[in-house]
Structure 1
Amino acid sequence: MTAPTPRTVGIIGLGIIGAIWARHYHQAGALAGAWNRTAQPDFPCWQDHPAEVARAADAIQIVVADPAAVQSVLDAILPALDSTKVVIQSSTIDPDSSETFQRQITATGARYLEAPFTGSKPAAEAGKTVFYLGGDPALCRELEPLLSLVSETRMRIGIPSQACALKLSMNLNISAQMEALCEAHAIATAAGIADDVFFQALSKNASRSGLSDLKEPLLRAQAYPPMFSVKHMHKDMRLASGIEAAKEFPVLAAVTARLAQAEARGLADEDFAALRKLL
């Protein structure tokens, strides 16, 4: 028997991104349930337990902090899964964890899609999230109507573990860019060069990037409200460091150490552009 096409979604994890997605889904009439470890009973379609979200929705989208948090969610919802359900795993995790979670979920008869994403708070608010999809191509097509409600682009990457690896590789790239941007800004500032001059020069330089445009207002203001926090980027770099192919990568080791320093300095909940404070 063919599983029905998912038409409703439940969100588990109402952090910066999960809450934005849930509201987009709710506005589109697709949200069937929402749950967060810290209770938010006034949130639309709030449920008191993750399993209630799983029972209420065709698709369950998980957006939590790390592999351990994903496992705790699965422990709660596995009894509520069957062949009518799809789990969309959108937390940033490592490839080995993805394989473990896929086995647990498919053993219930449910289907599994790895769907990490890129795009911080402003992109999520604007519906410009980009998903990296790992899983069955037919399932990707089935979920297109739902995921299009919260995203601009859905890229089919391959199997679930490959989607995880790509997400970590992208975050390594932006971590390294952020540290370099902070150091460049610090050199110019120490030389008495005004921000207007620095960023005008950067705008005409080959190193200008989407990241530098996004973080320019934070560096100018020397204030770092979280679009993507230090603690989450540090977690992602630790996960990347655990990939066998990346064991000896010097830039990965350096940015992981810098993020650890930032967290030790009490910057865990600030945007990862707060690496500038270490300089």
Structure 2
Amino acid sequence: MVSAESVVGLVGTGVMGKSMARNLQKSGYPINVFTRTKEKAQALLENGAVWKKSISQLANDSDVIITMVGYPSDVEQIYLGQNGIIENAKEGTYVIDMTTSKPALAEEIARQAAERDIHVLDAPVSGGDIGAKNGTLAIMAGGEQDVFNDVMPLFEIMGDNIILQGEAGAGQHTKMVNQIAIASNMIGVCEAIAYAKEAGLNPSRVLDSISTGAAGSFSLSKLAPRMLEGDFEPGFYVKHFIKDMTIALESAREMGLTTPGLELSLKLYQDLAVKGENDSGTQALIKLFERNSRVSDDEQATREENRLG
């Protein structure tokens, strides 16, 4: 059972992880931290977090371990690699992977953890940097009900929409559903803004009208204003969204599903990455539409010149 004295180990303190860790600190939990770059954890260390020199040391010295890293390969190395979490965590430790990763990997981690009496949940999140800062993330969990109940006090600090979706891997599958829904929606938001501009409308005023109606979405209400302000700082990186969509597409294909909206969105974001936007926020997709719009205008002018002779 997780108590107020339980030591929480955090692996990964990037855009999302640092805010999640800070909220746990504010609630009084003792925190251990490991990241590849110690400087990224400096603010947490200044507030009392204890730095651990390795994954194995953090695993051995923590009662609960939360991981929030970049890619499935990172998750695999952290959990299943030599000197990883499964090998070094104490019996009875609670381990929560909040990275968006492969469902099959979550299942394998749970299988190996069970052999060592380690309690595991896969619990990816949605809500971006804003949700992480405000403690309002949507948390989609996979694993055993009693483990989910035991760690609920931690989840309630980080999120406010917290649902156990099923057995190990179910959290990751649910996150794939989330990313598929966002993928096509982001295209629609960008097209809508481009249309509003071309029609000579005030895009901000248009957003005021449509954000609370049937078109409403997180992307429209939270990310579209950033697009208009030219704020492309990452609440969620383009490169990580590409990773998520790739996992979703592979998982869909394994199940025999066709996902044309997802395929189009992945292609557009890959094009955006090629243009140097890998480390921008996902709202940077608007740049691709604006560039395409300018190209279309040039082509239209050339056609008009040719028509007039």
Give the CA deviation at 1:247.
4.8
Residue 65 of structure 1 aligns with which residue? Answer: 70
Give the Cα separation in 1 of the matches to 2:164 and 2:99: 17
Give the CA deviation at 1:161.
1.4
Give the Cα separation in 2 of the matches to 1:92 and 1:246: 22
Deviates more, 1:81-90 or 1:193-202: 193-202
Give the CA deviation at 1:211.
2.3
Superposition RMSD in Å? 1.7
Give the CA deviation at 1:204.
5.8
TM-score under structure 2 length normalisation: 0.84
Question: Given the alignment, which residue of 113, 132, 147 partners 1:124?
Answer: 132
Distance change in 2, residues 1:130/1:31 (3 Å): farther
Distance change in 2, residues 1:204/1:110 (3 Å): closer
Does the CA contact (< 8 Å) of 2:59 and 2:90 recur in 1? no
Give the CA deviation at 1:122.
0.9
Give the Cα separation in 2 of the matches to 1:170 and 1:246: 19
Larger Rg: 2
Question: Given the alignment, which residue of 285, 290, 295 partners 1:275?
Answer: 285
Residue aligned with 2:28, SS: coil
Give the Cα separation in 1 of the matches to 2:52 and 2:190: 42
Does the CA contact (< 8 Å) of 1:14 and 1:36 recur in 2? yes
Residue aligned with 1:61, SS: strand
Deviates more, 1:113-122 or 1:147-156: 147-156
Residue 20 of structure 1 aligns with which residue? Answer: 19
Give the Cα separation in 2 of the matches to 1:204 and 1:66: 35
Give the Cα separation in 1 of the matches to 2:24 and 2:176: 26
Residue 263 of structure 1 aligns with which residue? Answer: 273
Give the Cα separation in 2 of the matches to 1:84 and 1:162: 22
Residue aligned with 1:227, SS: coil
Please give the residue correspondences for 1:70-85 in structure 2 after superposition, counting only pairs within 5 Å.
70-74=75-79, 75=81, 76-85=84-93
Residue 112 of structure 1 aligns with which residue? Answer: 120
Give the Cα separation in 2 of the matches to 1:109 and 1:205: 49
Residue 94 of structure 1 aligns with which residue? Answer: 102
Q: Which amino acid aligns with 1:131?
A: I
Does the CA contact (< 8 Å) of 2:211 and 2:220 recur in 1? no
Give the Cα separation in 2 of the matches to 1:144 and 1:200: 36
Give the Cα separation in 1 of the matches to 2:138 and 2:152: 12
Deviates more, 1:26-35 or 1:139-148: 26-35
Does the CA contact (< 8 Å) of 2:76 and 2:105 recur in 1? no
Does the CA contact (< 8 Å) of 1:131 and 1:153 recur in 2? yes
Give the Cα separation in 2 of the matches to 1:204 and 1:149: 28
Residue 242 of structure 2 aligns with which residue? Answer: 234
Give the Cα separation in 1 of the matches to 2:28 and 2:211: 42
Question: Given the alignment, which residue of 211, 214, 220 partners 1:206?
Answer: 214
Does the CA contact (< 8 Å) of 2:204 and 2:225 recur in 1? no
TM-score under structure 1 length normalisation: 0.93
Q: Which amino acid aligns with 2:64?
A: A
Give the Cα separation in 1 of the matches to 2:135 and 2:185: 24
